[in-house]
């Protein structure tokens, strides 16, 4: 693709909606690739970026809010223009977004608005438990775990598909390790009720078997295909679609996810409720409009979508930045996303396993699992440090 000569004459504006892993990743890379006459504008409603993978360590008291957050204002030091506010309307045809009543337009538009958490769609869930997929929810879960003296801890996935499919499994194993450290493991039972049929179903049976074995060794209960329909906070009871009821003393959950409200209300979603893109270029059907990260759904040959994860959002961000930069300047090459991904899986006691593979492989993703060791845990910590330092 050669640069659009007419466009190359004047400064171009790349408008990025959403300042999560995907939005920041594309903004930072675009800023380093594009000459100064081109603008990179990022729109975000929050004042502080939170590195979500670190919420797991916060759960067991190993990270604080300050450790894992950075002010968005820091982005301005990198030459990224920050617009703080709520995006109320999006017009992909015109590459426009209305932010707190003001219309912004881009020559290129990147939609990276993530997934919205919807605990309220399960009656009683928010009142009965702690949502460890949010910063405030993780803080309340951390305090509850720190003062827990014994009883039944339940980790729940309230829908079969959610971002970072490893996270609730890691949370369960980290909690087990934490209870041993607190010397109250013998006073607790720890169970996971999962809406999905297997751990990390898209990663294949090897990863699932590996997690089940560790759960067995750690004495963790594991109940699959339990779709919660209702929670009674007074009697601390979970009610499932299959008729089973389960009691808990402490409930920690992953809420259902859906596309952000602004996209639902702007009528821009595909049949599956998410944005549709070309899985290699991240282009939407609209001219010079890209979408990436959790807000898109990429169907795979096995009949399930590509898992929503920061590792994919980050890779897609690099690809989109290179493609846009090439289109504007004619330099470098557009980059294709090929479906490669990896995941560290924390198992507690300072160790993690590692899985890596190609998720676009057909008929099934090809994923290899590497046994747990201290080094994989260190690798995850290093990624956290790099993300927060670069900010």
Ligand X SMILES: Cc1cc2nc3c(=O)[nH]c(=O)nc-3n(C[C@H](O)[C@H](O)[C@H](O)COP(=O)(O)OP(=O)(O)OC[C@H]3O[C@@H](n4cnc5c(N)ncnc54)[C@H](O)[C@@H]3O)c2cc1C
Q: Which residues, numbered 245-264, are part of the site for ligand X (CB under 6 A)?
A: 260, 262
Contacts of 341 (CB under 8 A, 6+ apart): 307, 309, 311, 312, 315, 356, 357, 358, 359
Cβ-contact 46, 82 below 8 angstroms: no
Least separation in angstroms between CB 260 and ligand X: 4
Q: Which residue from 64, 71, 86, 285 is in contact with ligand X, where contact means CB under 6 A?
A: 86
Q: Are strands 188-193 and 250-254 parallel, antiparallel or unpaired?
A: unpaired
Among positions 16, 20, 75, 326, the unique one binding ligand X when judged by CB under 6 A: 20
The footprint of ligand X on residues 155-174 (CB under 6 A) is 163-164, 167
- The reply to whether 92 sits near ligand X by the rule CB under 6 A is no
Q: Out of 16, 23, 137, 200, which residue is the one contacting ligand X (CB under 6 A)? A: 23
Residue whose Cβ sits closest to ligand X:
20
Q: Which is nearer to ligand X, 229 or 266 (CB)?
A: 266
d(CA 8, CA 325): 11
| CA of residue 151 relative to chain centroid, distance | 31
Contact between 29 and ligand X by CB under 6 A: the answer reads no
Q: Residue 286: is it exposed, middle or buried by C-beta count within 10 angstroms (0-12/13-18/19+)?
A: middle
Binder of ligand X out of 28, 53, 108, 156 (CB under 6 A): 53
Contact 176, 218 (CB under 8 A): yes
CB of 355 to ligand X, least distance (A): 11
Closest approach of ligand X to the CB of residue 230, in Å: 24
By CB under 6 A, is residue 52 in contact with ligand X? Answer: yes
Q: Does 175 engage in binding with ligand X (CB under 6 A)?
A: no
Cα 128 from chain centroid (whole Å): 24
Question: Whose Cβ is closer to ligand X: residue 64's or residue 242's?
Answer: 64
End-to-end CA distance of the chain: 32
Using CB under 6 A as the binding rule, the residues of this chain from 282 to 341 that contact ligand X are 293-295, 308-311, 313
- For ligand X, which residue of 19, 106, 119, 353 counts as binding (CB under 6 A)? 19
CA distances from 90 to 95, 132, 137 (A): 8, 30, 29
- Rounded to 10 deg, the angle between the 310-329 and 21-33 helix axes is 30
Tell me which residue of 257, 49, 59 sits closest to 157, measured CA to CA.
Answer: 257
Span 118-157, contacts to ligand X by CB under 6 A: 133
Least distance to ligand X, CB of residue 267, Å:
15
Question: CB under 6 A: which stretch of 13-21, 180-188, 218-226, 276-284 binds ligand X?
Answer: 13-21
297: three-class secondary structure by DSSP: coil
Which one of the spans 16-24, 205-213, 233-241, 352-360 is the region binding ligand X (CB under 6 A)?
A: 16-24
Closest CA to 343 of 302, 307, 293: 307
Residues that bind ligand X (CB under 6 A): 18-23, 43-46, 52-53, 55-56, 86-87, 112-114, 133, 163-164, 167, 260, 262, 293-295, 308-311, 313, 343
């Amino acid at each position: 693709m050669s640069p659009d000569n007419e466009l190359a004459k004047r400064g171009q504006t790349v408008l990025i909606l959403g300042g999560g892993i995907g939005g920041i990743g594309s903004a930072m890379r675009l800023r380093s690739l594009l000459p100064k006459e081109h603008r990179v504008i990022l729109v975000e409603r929050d004042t502080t970026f939170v590195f979500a993978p670190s919420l797991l360590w916060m759960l067991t008291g190993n990270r604080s809010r300050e450790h894992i957050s950075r002010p968005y204002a820091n982005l301005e030091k990198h030459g990224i223009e920050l617009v703080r506010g709520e995006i109320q309307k999006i017009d992909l045809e015109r590459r426009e977004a209305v932010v707190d009543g003001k219309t912004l337009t881009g020559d290129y538009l990147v939609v990276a608005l993530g997934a919205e958490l919807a605990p309220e769609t399960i009656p009683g869930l928010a009142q009965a438990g702690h949502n460890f997929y949010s910063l405030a929810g993780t803080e309340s879960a951390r305090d509850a775990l720190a003062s827990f003296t014994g009883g039944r801890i339940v980790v729940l996935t309230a829908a079969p598909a959610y971002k970072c499919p490893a996270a609730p499994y890691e949370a369960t194993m980290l909690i087990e390790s934490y209870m041993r450290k607190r010397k109250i493991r013998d006073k607790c039972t720890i169970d996971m009720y999962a809406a999905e049929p297997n751990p990390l179903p898209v990663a294949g049976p090897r990863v699932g078997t590996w997690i089940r074995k560790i759960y067995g060794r750690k004495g963790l209960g594991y109940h699959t295909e339990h779709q919660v329909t209702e929670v009674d906070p007074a009697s601390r009871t979970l009610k499932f679609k299959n008729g089973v009821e389960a009691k808990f003393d402490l409930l920690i959950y992953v809420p259902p996810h859906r596309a952000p409200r602004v996209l639902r209300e702007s009528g821009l979603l595909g049949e599956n409720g998410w944005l549709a893109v070309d899985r290699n270029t991240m282009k939407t059907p609209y001219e010079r409009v890209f979408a990436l990260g959790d807000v898109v759904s990429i169907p795979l040959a096995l009949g399930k979508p590509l898992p929503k994860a920061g590792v994919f959002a980050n890779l897609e961000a690099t690809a989109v930045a290179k493609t846009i930069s090439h289109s504007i300047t004619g330099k470098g090459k557009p980059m294709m996303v090929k479906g490669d991904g990896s995941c560290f899986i924390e198992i507690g006691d300072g160790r993690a396993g590692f899985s890596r593979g190609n998720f676009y492989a057909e008929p099934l993703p090809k994923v290899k699992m590497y046994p747990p060791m201290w080094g994989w845990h260190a690798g995850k910590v290093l990624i956290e440090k790099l993300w927060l330092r670069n900010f």
